[in-house]
Amino acid sequence: MPNSAVFVPHFHWDREWYEPFQVFRHRLVTALDTVLETAEADPDFRFTVDGQMAAVEDYLEMRPENRERVAALVREGRLAIGPWLILLDEFLCSGETIVRNLRMGWAAAERLGGAMPIGYLPDMFGHVAQMPQILARAGIEHAALWRGVPGSVDGHAFRWRAPDGSEVRTEFLFDGYDNGLDVLLVPDRIGSALGEYDRMTAERWGGDPVLAMAGTDHHAPDPQLAAWLRHASGEERPITVATLDEYVRAHVRDEVHSVVTGELRSHVRGNILPGVLSVRLGLKQRMAVAERTVDHAERMNALWSRRDDSAFLSLAWHKIIESTAHDSVVGSGTDETCDQVAARLDEAAQTARAVRDAALAEPAALVPSDGFLVANPLPSARTALVEVDVVAPAEGSTLIATTADGASHPAQLVSAAPTVLSDERLDASQLERVLRRIHRRELFGRQIDHYELTPNSLVFHLAEVPTSGPFDLMVLRGEVAAAASAHPGRWRVRTLTEARATALVAVPVPASGLAGVRVAASDTSPAPATRSAPATAASGALSNGLVEVAVAADGTLDVTGVDGTILTGVGRLVDGGDRGDSYNYAPPALDAPVSEPTRVTVEVLESGPLRSRVRVTRVYEWPAALSSDRDVRGYRTVPTPVEMLVELRTGEPFVRISTSFLNQSADHRLRLHVPLPEPVTTSASAGQFAVTERGLTAEGGWGEYPLPTFPASSFVSAGAATVLLDHSTEYEVVDGGCALALTLLRAVGSISVNIHPLRDEPAASEIPAPGAQELGMRIEHRFAVVPCAAGWREAGAVALAEEFRNDVLVVRGTAHVDGRLPEDTTGVQVEARDVHVSSIRRVGDGVGGAGTEIRLAAMSDSPSHVRVTGAFTQATTVDLLGRPLSPPPGSEPVRDGLEFTLAPWEIRTVVLR
C-alpha cells in the first residue's frame, strides 16, 4: 500500500549571506506578499515561515498595514510562525543567547496569534547537546532538523536526548529541507514522481506519511501549488497540504525507537561545514564581547540601579540574536555582509555598555572621587586585580590600597605618565586660540585645577580631580586678554599635570557585589599579602607559588601546574596552507607547514609582586600566498613577528597567554599547539550549558571529509591540559593524540569553491570574499593554560573559566573628595561546584510582581548542591519562557537562603523576590 504524502509549503530564509540584509529583505517582502495572496485565495494552502520570527518582523516593518492579515492566518492555523527569533548557529553563541532567541521569538509569535511549538532547526551546521533540554524546558515536545544526525538513525524520526535526560521527538529531514521540490518539477507528473520517491525511501517512513518539504532558499512556493496537489491526490495515495506542526501532530503515528544522545555533528547525511568555526575571527570575538557586555549590564541594572533599562537591554539582545544567524556570525557571507554583522554586534555592545555604565554611576556617586568603585559580575566572592590611574608616588614612597574596612593592600606600580603635556611659544595675539581648547574645565582629557598667569607666561595645572575650588573660563578669558594687551610679543604656554601612574591593586570583592578602594602613596609598606605568594619574573622564568613558567630557546613555554604536572612546548605555532573556503578547510596538495621561528627574543615587562609579565617575540617566514594552481605554497615569504605575552597573577592556578601579529599572508591556517604529556583518546569542551566529550575522529559520509575539528566556548580540555578561552574557538587533538591545537587564524578568499578536495558539493556560489583573508589585520587572541593531571573537573575549570572571561568593572567615584569609602555590599551569591550562572537580570511585573531572575546550569554528570543567598524572601521556579513551575500560583518562602539540588546537567531558572 503506497504511503500517503503531506506537503509542507515553506521557504528557508537566510537573512543575509551572499547579499546583505536589505537586498535579501527586498526579496522577502515580495515572497511574503505572494504567500499572503496565495493563502487568502486558496483555503487549502498552508505555509511555514522557516521557524524564525525575524522574517516576519522584517516583512512587517516594510508592510505594517499587513499585520492583521498575517495574524488572521496565524489564528486560523494556516500560517505557522516561530518559535525562534532567528535560525542561529548554535555553536557560535552562548547557551544564554539560545534561550533568549527562543524566548524573544516565542513572545513575538504570541503577539501575532501563537508560536509553532516545533523546534525547527533546518539548516544549522550541527546541533548542541543541550538543545533537547532547552526545547523541553520551554514546553516544546518536537523538533525537526537536517544536518548532523548520526548514521545510526534509519527512520524519519528519532528521540533526541540531552545530557540531563530530557527528550524531544525529532523529525529527521534526511533529504534536506527541500526534498519535495524534485517531485514538483513537472506539475502533471507529481503523482508518478511521488511514487518513485516513496519507493526509494520507503524504509524510512514505515507506516507514516511521506513528508515532502516544498520549498527552498529565498523563494515563495508557486501560487498554483495547492491546486497541483489536489489534482495529483487520489484514493490510492492521498496528498495533504499542511504546516510542519500539522504534519507532526496530526499525521505521524509510528512509535519512535531510535535514540540519539548529545550533540549532532555527524557528516553522514549532510555537510556540517565545520570551517565556519574559525573563519573571520573578528566576528567570533565581537559576539563574545557583545554577549559578555549585555550580561554584565543586566546584572548591574538588576542589582544596583533604580532605573529599569529593559528596553535598551532588549534592543541589545535583539541585535546579538540577529547576528547569530547561521550565515551571519559564521562569516560565510560577502565582505559587506560581514561588515554589517560586525557593526551590529558593536552596536549591541555599545547599547549594553551604556546601561552598564549608567547602573554603576549610581553606587559610584557614594564613592569619593579620589577612590574607585569595583563591581564583581560573578555571584561568588573573589580577589581581583584592577588597574587604576593614581597620583604617582614620590621617590622612596610606595603605593598602598585601602579598602572600606581599613585594611591595607599592596599595589604594584605599572607605569608612569608624563607630567608636561605641552610646552609652546607663540605670539600674544595667538593666546585666544589656546583658550579655545578648553571645554568648560576640561583640557587634554583632564580637569584644570588652577593656572598661573604672569607676564609672557601662562601655565595650566591639570588634575584628574580638581581640588582648588571653582574655575571660571570667562574670568580666565578676560585676564588673558588684558595680559596679552599689556605684554605683547612672545609668550610661553605650558600645560602641566600632576604626576600620574598606573597602579595594579588586589581588591577583595563580595559576590555580585561592590567594593570601594583608594590608592595613595605611603612611606611604609603594607604587610605581605596573605592570599598567596607574589608573582615574579626574571630571565625568562615566571612564578606565583602555584604555577611556574620557563621560556624555552624556541620561544615555547614549559608550564608546571599546582599538582606538579608539566606541559612542555606550550605555544608552538604551526602555519600551513589553506586552499579551502569559508565553509571548509583544505590543505594544498603539497603543503609546507612552518613551525620553527627564525629569531626569538624575550623581554621582562613586569616583575611583580601582583603580576609578572614576559613578552616573547618570534619571527616566522610564512609564505605570502598559495601558488596560482593553489596546490603549492608560494616561494615568496613574509617575515612575520608574533608577540606572545605571558602573564602570571598572584593566586591564579593558570598562566595567561596573549598572542598578536599583523597578518601579511593569504591562504593559510595558523594553529597554536599545547603538547600533552601523555597521548589521549578523547577531548572535552564547554559551551551551551554542557561539557561535551569527543573522540579523535568524526563520522563521515555525504561527500564531506570528516575532519575532527570541534567547537569550544569557555574551555577545552585534553588529558592534563585545560585551556580557558575568551571566545568560541576551533580545536583539534592532533599528532595521534599528543597535542591540543587551537586555530588562531584561517585566511581564505572565497565564500565557497566549486572544486574542494575535502567536500564534493559546493556550499554556495564561488563568490570572492577578499576580506576573509584578514590581510593587514592585527590578529589577537587571549587564553589561559591550566596544567592538571586529573583533568578539567579537578582543575575547577568551570569556575576558572568564568573568572578568566569576566573581569571586574572599575569606575572612579564621583562623591566629594576625601570622604569615607562606603561599606562593601553583597548582591546575589551562589555557592555551588561546577555550576554555571548564565544570567542574573531584572524581570517585570509578571506573576508575583517584579523580581530578579537567575539561571543556573549544572556542568557535571553528578548532582550539584546549590545555595543562593541575597535580599529576597520568595523564590519561584519558572520555565525557559518565564512561566511559573513551582509552586503555582504562589512562591516558595525563603529563609536564610534558597537551597536545592541540580540534577546532572540540569538547567534551572528561578525568580527571586
Distance CA(890)–CA(216), nearest Å, equals: 47
- State the pLDDT confidence band at 846, using cuts at 50, 70 and 90: low
Collapse the DSSP code of 298 into the 3-class scheme (helix H, G, I; strand E, B; otherwise coil) and give the result.
helix
3-state secondary structure of 616: strand
Q: What does the pLDDT average to over 110-124?
A: 97
Q: Is the pLDDT of residue 111 over 70?
A: yes
Summarised one tens digit per residue, pLDDT across range 719-759 is 999 999 999 999 999 999 999 999 999 999 999 999 999 99
CB-count burial class (<10 Å; 0-12, 13-18, 19+) for 475: exposed
Cα gap 106→230, rounded to integer Å: 33
Position 372, amino acid: F
Q: What is the grid cell recorded at 588?
A: 594544498
Within 10 angstroms of residue 347's Cβ, the number of other Cβ atoms is 16
Whether 479 has a pLDDT exceeding 50, the answer reads: yes
pLDDT at 256 exceeding the cut of 60 = yes
Q: Which is more confident, 708 or 524?
A: 708
What one-character-per-residue DSSP string does 393-424 give? PPTT-EEEEEETTS-EEEEEEEEE--SEEEEE
Q: Report the alpha-carbon angle 618-619-623, nearest 5.
A: 135
Is the CB of residue 128 less than 8 Å from the CB of residue 263?
A: yes
CB 448 within 8 A of CB 508: no
Kindly tell me if the per-residue pLDDT of 396 is higher than 80.
Answer: no
For residues 51 and 13, the answer to whether their CB atoms sit within 8 Å is: no
Q: Decide which of 529 and 143 is more confident.
A: 143
What per-residue confidence (pLDDT) applies to 891?
Answer: 55
Write the DSSP string, 341-353.
HHHHHHHHHHHHH
Low-confidence winner among 71-85, 508-522, 834-848 (lowest mean pLDDT): 834-848
pLDDT digits (tens, 9 = 90+) for 760-782: 999 999 999 999 999 999 999 99
Q: Which residues contact 177 (CB under 8 A, 6 or more apart)?
A: 10, 12, 122, 123, 146, 213, 215, 216
Mean pLDDT of 427-434: 93
Which pLDDT score is estimated for 849? 73
> Contact, 592 vs 623, CB < 8 A?
yes
Count, residues in the chain: 913
Burial class (CB in 10 A: 0-12, 13-18, 19+), 185: exposed
DSSP helix/strand/coil, 223: coil
DSSP state string for 164-202: TS-EEEEEE-TT-TTTTTGGGSSGGGHHHHHHHHHHHHH
Burial class from Cβ neighbours inside 10 Å (0-12, 13-18, 19+) for residue 818 reads exposed
Check pLDDT > 60 for residue 888. Answer: no
Whether residue 531 is predicted with pLDDT greater than 60 in this model: the reply is no
pLDDT of residue 525: 63
Q: Is the peptide bond before 675 cis (omega within 30 degrees of 0)?
A: no
Q: How far is CA 696 from the centre of its chain?
A: 26
- CA 844 from chain centre, in angstroms, equals 26
- 530: pLDDT confidence band, cut at 50, 70 and 90? very low
Which pLDDT value is given to residue 890?
Answer: 46
Please give the grid coordinates belonging to residue 419.
Answer: 607630567
Q: Cα-atom radius of gyration of the chain, to the nearest Å?
A: 31
24 pLDDT more than 70: yes
- The dihedral region occupied by 695, where left means phi > 0, alpha psi between -120 and 50, and beta the remainder, is beta
**DSSP readout, 451-470?**
EEEETTEEEEEEESS--S--
CA-CA distance, 398 to 507, in Å (whole number)? Answer: 17
Cα–Cα distance for residue pair 211/517, rounded to 1 Å: 65
User: Is the bond preceding residue 887 a cis peptide, omega within 30 degrees?
Assistant: yes
Going by pLDDT thresholds of 50, 70 and 90, the confidence category of residue 521 is: confident
Q: Which three cell numbers stand for residue 665?
A: 599572508
Instruction: State the amino acid at position 67 in one-letter form.
Output: R
Q: Identify the DSSP state of 52.
A: B
644 secondary structure, DSSP code: E
Q: Kindly state the percentage of the chain with pLDDT values over 90.
A: 89
Instruction: Quote the CA–CA distance of 529 and 531 in Å, as a whole number.
Output: 5
pLDDT bucket at 1, cuts 50 / 70 / 90: low
Among left, alpha and beta (phi > 0; psi -120 to 50; other), residue 113 is: left
- 787 near 720, Cβ under 8 Å? yes
Of the candidates 487, 734, 485, the one whose C-alpha atom is nearest the C-alpha of residue 587 is 734
Hey, what's the cell of 723? 585551556
Q: Is the pLDDT of residue 263 over 50?
A: yes
Q: Rounded distance, CA 720 to CA 792, Å?
A: 8
What is the per-residue pLDDT for 235? 79
Whole-number pLDDT of residue 398: 87
Query: pLDDT at position 465, please?
Result: 82
Confidence tier at 887 by pLDDT (50, 70, 90): low
Banded pLDDT at 249 (limits 50, 70, 90): confident
675: part of which helix (H) or strand (E)? strand 668-675
The CA–CA distances, whole Å, from 703 to 146, 188, 512, 759 equal 15, 33, 50, 6
Q: Mean pLDDT, to the nearest integer, of 385-407?
A: 90
How far is C-alpha 825 from the chain's CA centre? Answer: 29
Phi, psi torsion values for 353, nearest 5 degrees: -60, -40
Classify burial at 42, counting beta carbons within 10 Å of its beta carbon; exposed 0-12, middle 13-18, buried 19 or more. middle
| Calpha distance 786→547 (Å, rounded) | 9
Under 8 Å between Cβ of 130 and 112: no
- pLDDT confidence of residue 856: 98
Query: Residue 290: which of 669, 879, 728 has the closest Cα?
Result: 728
The Cα-based distances of 24 to 21, 171, 358, 709 in angstroms read 5, 28, 37, 32
Q: What is the mean pLDDT of residues 25-31?
A: 97
Confidence of residue 847 (pLDDT cuts 50, 70, 90): low
* Average pLDDT estimate for 246-266: 90
pLDDT band at 529 (very low <50, low <70, confident <90, very high): very low
Q: Is there a contact between 720 and 674 (Cβ–Cβ < 8 Å)?
A: no
Contact 335, 873 (CB under 8 A): no
**pLDDT computed for residue 599 by the predictor:** 98
Helices (H), strands (E): how many in the chain? 15, 50
Round to whole Å and give the CA distance between 284 and 560. Answer: 31
Mean pLDDT, rounded, of the chain: 94
Q: How far is CA 396 from CA 329, 390, 392, 393, 525, in A?
A: 53, 16, 11, 8, 11
Q: Give the pLDDT of residue 266.
A: 97
